[in-house]
Amino acid sequence: MHPHFYHWHNRAELKPETAVLQDRWEAAAKFAVDLTGDDACSLLRLALFGTGTPNFFKRFSDSLVALEPTFLPEGNTELLRVMATAALYTQMETESEEADAVALGLLASAFRPDCMTPVCGELGTRAGEYLASESERLRPTPEVASRYNALKKATETDDWASEPEAAQLVGEAVLELGDTLGRIAEENQFLWWLLSRRSSLLSKRREQISAKEYALVAAAEAAERVVLLPPPSSVESLIAEVLSHCPKASNAACLVGDLISTVDLDSLRIKAVLPGVLELCPLTGLLGVRHAGGKVDEVALAKFGLDSKLKVSPADAANQYFRELMFLRALAQLR
């Protein structure tokens, strides 16, 4: 149980009974076991914005009452937000595909801080810590040499193939080589992308493209090159670097609606996403409106919680769209 869970609870229930807190924490954790993509989005929306569907609210509430009988079955909206926060936090205590989706969703959702009323600050802090550590864990310094030295020593005898230890070493070496090649491929893809000074999706040199036109395309190009989730922590810096190849006069902040209206939709290969995701991914939602033939006007922006006068730099917009794409990929991995 998080040491501040009492204070999270205090937001919804003045001076909660400390005796029930551990049971409620465990109930929240049990609800989130084998988290689906739909439920991950529902928990994020509830914890961050206090929004969601009545069906999810009832199902979540009923599940909690079944797991912890003292939980209020009605009039419990704020308590549900506390429990959603706990459920999300427990997912990030160990590495998993569910934890990746939760942490990346929290990162993507942070684009609209004025709309968010999180129960606590610890949730966002944990997401940042999880993504940094997990990204590093998945990309360790290769140990190919040690694996192959051990394999070489084991194969020095004529009958080495009949030894169980040798077979195990062969398997370990092959697995290590495969993992290493995947990481090297990712690094090489980003290296060539950076040095080529060319947009692969627009088939143009970057000095021929305005930063406003290239921002979301650059995010999509970066997303294509990510092999492992969570992505490398350095990707957002690389996005800023490739955008600096565009004409300097085009790097000024611009209205978010103008930026969405400028991008080449064909290059982004827009795909349909579930409605419940869009509150967490506003740029994806706006691109979907335009892709469906709608206008990116004041009404459309308000639908996704954005002010029509909101200005963003091309780099900030690109990083946000990249975060949304990574979240959508992580969701696709969940059942």
Closest by CA position to 193, among listed 315, 201, 270, 138: 201
Q: Which pLDDT score, from 0 to 100, does residue 297 have?
A: 95
- Over residues 65-88, mean pLDDT: 94
Q: What is the pLDDT of residues 94-144, one digit of tens each?
A: 999 999 999 999 999 999 888 888 999 999 999 999 999 999 999 887 766
CB-neighbour burial class of residue 251 (10 A; exposed 0-12, middle 13-18, buried 19+)? middle
Q: At what angle do helices 211-224 and 235-243 cross, to 10 degrees?
A: 150
Is the model's pLDDT at 161 over the cut of 70? no
Contact (CB, 8 A) for 255 and 296? no
3-state secondary structure 187-229: HHHHHHHHHHCEECCCCEEHHHCCHHHHHHHHHHHHHHCCCCC
Distance CA 273, CA 253 (A): 28
Q: Lowest mean pLDDT: which of 28-37, 60-69, 174-183, 290-299?
A: 174-183
Q: What is the pLDDT of residues 11-54, one digit of tens each?
A: 777 677 888 999 999 999 999 999 999 999 999 999 999 999 99
| Domain chopping of the chain, boundaries | 5-137, 138-196, 208-332
Distance CA 319, CA 296 (A): 20
Q: At what angle do helices 77-91 and 97-109 cross, to 10 degrees?
A: 120
The residue behind tokens 């892709």 is 291
Q: What is the pLDDT of residues 237-280, one digit of tens each?
A: 999 999 999 998 777 899 999 999 999 999 998 887 877 898 99
Report the 10 Å Cβ neighbour count for 104. Answer: 27
Q: What is the pLDDT of residues 136-152, one digit of tens each?
A: 999 887 766 666 677 67
Query: 205 phi and psi, to 5 degrees?
Result: -70, 145
